[in-house]
Amino acid sequence: MADTANQPVVSQLGSDLALKLSFAAAVAVLPFLALRLYNWIIYATTASKYPLVNPKWDEPTKKKFTHSIRDLLTKGATMSKGGPYRLNDMSTQRIMLPAKYIEEIKNHNGLDFHAYVAKEFFASYPGFDAFSTSVNQTIFQDAVRTQLTQALALTIGPMAKEAPNTLTKVFGDSTEWKEVVFVPSALRAISRLITLIFLGESFMDNQEWQRISIMYTVDAFIAAKKLNTFPAILRPIVHWFLPECSKIRDEIKLCREIITPEVERRLAEIKKNGGKPRRKVLDSIDWFVASAKGQPFDYPNAELSLAMASIHTTNNTFSFAFFDLLENPQYVQPLREEIIQVFKDVGKWDKSTLFKLRFMDSFLKESMRYHPHSAFHLPRMATKTFTLSDGSVIPKDAYVSVGPTLMHDSSVWPNALTFDPYRFLKLRNAPGNENKYQFVTTSCESTVFGHGHHSCPGRFFASNEIKLLLAHMVMYYDWKLPEGQDKVQHTTNGTSHSPNSRQAVLLRRRTPEVDFEAAHEEE
């Protein structure tokens, strides 16, 4: 009876406590909300001064954004008279800067690429872990910029030795013409060679790792795109219920199951060996260990981040170039002749061999200029409000990008809409230009690899792999487009431009004029 009599009192006390806690929570969050509101007002007030190219976000506008993004960028640059303008895209509104601003913003301390990636791809959400590894940890950046760069020369031999075997696995060895769908086939070859260098030979044939290292990137982009369709305030909750986000959480879990045992084995081996790896040829696990210097580090996510940053971007660049070659078969023989001559002169695959493939280098750079992967470059987030030299104000938290770029600008590149594989070879032959127009060189006029502090640190490795693979493919196989086809229709979807992933090609095995494999036997 006593307990029953006290229930109203207890209930009232509970209600009072709940009310006080709710009030306290509301008071605690008010400063945060006030700051967010203040920042939004500053952003809206500042950004609204710039013309908005596509104010409506209706179906016709979405269609134009999806299929005619370059027209929108040109329109924006015209509306703004060469100054900043605004563009609505699928997920946000960004401030666009014409290419004249590149030199000023490339190293600006108020603009951050990693902050952009973290915000755009939800780096703090479970499942998007691979984005947070590359964004938040300087260990990852040091491993790629320092350890990988120092190991570049050591990666060429193993890739060259493996290339014939990988090509046979992917494309076969039949001397009769046969048809394959090129982009996914090339993706397998590129993924195998990248895996060889980053994780070692045993992982090349690990089908689970090959699948996840290729598909996580695709699935994460799909999940981010889906999540961006929801209001920002709902995303921290909604992501738990989206199948797309659940899928990448499962992939992260599987990644840990695959990579963790190998990392533990390596760390035990290093500890037993007095802090040094026993193996002569080091890979990315060793690079991360060296950069971590004993600090805690998420090795599985780092490996997935490496795969995400390297496999698809390399394959897109390579596939565009290869399709350019099939559309222009008159350049196959000049490529072969250069490869034969250089390899006979050097006698093996090393950095000097690749450096001397000057026509190939020019061909690849022209292909990259001709097929920029994105309609705008140098994506950044403003980490503070700052003023550009012409008085234009960039507000804190703004998404900032450069567009239109100069890749197709005829005032920079004569006959810019014509594919000329000798373009950069001619430019390099001019006095003082030897290093300026190489495939890996960035500039205000060539920004596919970025430019400045945030230019792609892995581009030197990617260049080596692409050149090795292209050399082996033109020497070991004949290639052509299907009968009656002389052009490949590529895919443009919003800001992205991708090689046609359904395009079939014909190939047959041939006998190379030089024996690459014999050179490895002599080593």
> Residue 450 — left, alpha, or beta (φ > 0 → left; ψ -120 to 50 → alpha)?
left
Least confident of 268-277, 288-297, 364-373, 393-402: 268-277
| Residue 186 pLDDT | 98
Residue 91 predicted with pLDDT over 80: no
Mean pLDDT of 434-446: 93
Q: According to the model, what pLDDT value does residue 523 have?
A: 55
CA dihedral 462, 244, 181, 458 (to 10 degrees): 0
Q: Which domains does the chain have, with CATH numbers?
A: 59-521 (1.10.630.10)
Beta strands 85-88 and 111-112 are unpaired
- pLDDT score at 2: 45
Rounded CA-CA distance 194/370 in Å is 25
pTM listed for this prediction: 0.90
pLDDT at 345: 94
Instruction: Please list, in sequence order, all residues whose beta carbon lies within 8 angstroms of the beta carbon of residue 19, skipping any fewer than 6 positions away.
Output: none
DSSP bridge partners of 380: 400
- Residue 25 confidence (pLDDT) above 50: no
Q: What angle do CA 139, 142, 145 make, to 5 degrees?
A: 150
Residue 29 has pLDDT above 50, yes or no: no
User: How far apart are the C-alpha atoms of 257 and 252, rounded to whole Å?
Assistant: 9
Given a cut of 60, whether residue 249 has pLDDT beyond it is yes
Give the confidence band of 21 by pLDDT, cuts at 50, 70, 90. Answer: very low
User: Which pairs with CB-CB distance under 8 Å and at least 24 residues apart come from 436-444?
Assistant: 437/362, 437/365, 438/361, 438/365, 439/361, 439/362, 439/364, 439/365, 439/368, 439/463, 444/99, 444/102, 444/103, 444/106, 444/406
Q: What is the pLDDT of residues 253-265, one digit of tens each?
A: 999 999 999 999 9
The pLDDT value recorded for residue 47 is 76
> Is pLDDT above 80 for 179?
yes
**H helices then E strands: how many in the chain?**
21, 12
Mean pLDDT computed over 124-136: 82
Distances in Å between the Cα of 493 and the Cα atoms of 46, 89, 134, 228, 496 are 30, 12, 26, 16, 5
Per the annotation, where are the binding residues for heme?
456
Asked whether the predicted pLDDT for residue 308 surpasses 90, the reply is yes
Give the dihedral sign, CA 149/151/152/158.
negative
Residue 515 confidence (pLDDT): 86
Mean per-residue pLDDT over the chain, rounded? 89
Task: Flag whether pLDDT at 356 surpasses 70.
Answer: yes
Answer yes or no: is pLDDT of 337 > 90.
yes
Give CA–CA dist 113/339, Å, rounded. 38
| Cα(249)–Cα(389) distance, integer angstroms | 44
Between 281 and 287, the more confident residue is 287
Q: In this prediction, what percent of the chain has a pLDDT beyond 70? A: 89
Phi/psi for 493 (5° steps) reads -140, 100
Annotated binding site: 456
Q: Work out whether strand 399-402 and strand 377-382 pair parallel, antiparallel, or are unpaired.
A: antiparallel
pLDDT of residue 133: 67
Element (H, E) at 322: helix 299-327
- Does residue 435 register a pLDDT over 90? no
Q: Which residue has the higher pLDDT, 423 or 523?
A: 423
Is the predicted pLDDT of residue 502 greater than 70, yes or no?
Answer: yes
With bands split at pLDDT 50, 70 and 90, how would you rate the model's confidence at 16? low
Q: Which pLDDT belongs to residue 40? A: 54
Q: In the prediction, which pLDDT does 15 show?
A: 56
- What local confidence, expressed as pLDDT, does residue 61 receive? 75
- The secondary element (H helix, E strand) that includes residue 78 is helix 69-79
- What pLDDT was estimated at residue 232? 87
Which one has a higher pLDDT value, 219 or 276?
219
Q: Which helix (H) or strand (E) segment is 95 a member of?
A: strand 93-97
Residue 410 in this model has a pLDDT that exceeds 80: yes
